[in-house]
Amino acid sequence: MGNCLQTSTSDDINLLRDSESSNTRDTSPEQLDPPPPYQEAVRPTVPVYHTAPNVTRPATQLTEEEQVRIAQRIGLIQHLPTGIYDGSKKNRECVICMYEFQYGDTVRFLPCMHTYHTHCIDDWLMRSFTCPSCMEPVDAALLTTYETN
Ligand SMILES: [Zn+2]
Ligand SMILES: [Zn+2]
């Protein structure tokens, strides 16, 4: 009987120690460290911030060639069809801002049939001329559309 009591006592102590150490781990400030680098790693693939390139690079510092390229890109973006979300589209979420489309939202349709908020995709396309969902180059798709027209 004495052995049994001793065993259970040491078990209790181990349990207490375990829970204590796990508690310390949970509240440890080290837990706060991982999020920042994680967020930074996610940013390039899913940019949710809406800064246009001219925010980091003032228009006055752009070369003439860059200005022409930006103007051309804006022109191409404006050729993409836009519409008002009516709830009938297959994809119901804008993968850029991760918000679901609401009835009446202004959306832009890419040639690959993916749909995004106009302001989200316009901002995205200024930095990367590919569909953020399927990585289909919008450039080439647009040129094909022009040829068939
Ligand atoms: Zn959006
Ligand atoms: Zn796509």
Question: Which residue ranges make up each domain of the chain?
Answer: 2-42, 62-148
How many angstroms separate the alpha carbon of residue 32 from the centre of ligand 1? Answer: 29
3-class SS of residue 105: coil
Which of the ligands is closest to the CA of residue 96?
A: 1
How many angstroms separate the alpha carbon of residue 95 from the centre of ligand 2? Answer: 10
pLDDT at 88: 75
How far, CA to CA in Å, does 81 sit from each of 51, 77, 113, 117? 23, 9, 11, 12
How many angstroms separate the alpha carbon of residue 75 from the centre of ligand 1? Answer: 21
Which of the ligands is closest to the CA of residue 132?
A: 2
Contact 115, 123 (CB under 8 A): no
pLDDT at 17: 58
- Cβ-proximal residues to 14 (8 Å cutoff; 6+ apart), any chain: none
How many angstroms separate the alpha carbon of residue 143 from the centre of ligand 2? Answer: 16
Please determine, looking at this structure, whether the domain spanning 62-148 carries the CATH number 3.30.420.140.
Answer: no
Segments in the chain below pLDDT 70: 1-58, 89-90, 140-149
Name the helix (H) or strand (E) containing 149.
Answer: none
pLDDT at 139: 76
**Radius of gyration of the chain from its Cα atoms, rounded to whole angstroms:** 27
pLDDT at 18: 56
